[in-house]
Amino acid sequence: MQQVVDLQRDKGFERLGVQLLSISPDSVADWKDNADQMGIHLPVLSDAGNRVANMYGVMRWRMGNEPSHTFVLVDSDDRVLWVRDYGAPEHGGIMYVKPSAVTQLIAGHLGTKP
């Protein structure tokens, strides 16, 4: 959840003007409790059974008991512009990504400066 906290506080990410949603297989009650404790104010969604994750083909990799962080950039027409599953071996198999790295990649796909 620290990834979400850091992204919502990052000014460079904020300047992108994209809506950040956090989706997890955790229950709504667990999400709400954790979000409240960590000061998360962006939308947090429960994807019980990973139905949405499976539709996008993401979150297949795990870091211990936790799914890795996957970022999906979707435009206003619901087209997927970019996907990066950081748990995948080709992307480093990592759990946490610096907000500046995510911001740069998204900016590149939007054709803007971070």
The CA dihedral of 2, 42, 67, 60, to the nearest 10 degrees, is: -140
Predicted pLDDT of residue 60? 67
26, pLDDT greater than 70: yes
Parse the chain into domains and list their residue ranges: 2-110
Q: If DSSP codes are grouped into helix, strand and coil, which group holds residue 107?
A: helix
Express each pLDDT in 46-103 by its tens digit.
888 888 888 877 766 665 666 667 888 888 888 888 888 887 778 777 878 899 999 9
* CATH superfamily for domain 2-110: Glutaredoxin (3.40.30.10)
Predicted pLDDT of residue 62? 60
Predicted pLDDT of residue 43? 85
Terminal Cα-to-Cα distance of the chain (whole angstroms): 23
24, pLDDT greater than 90: no
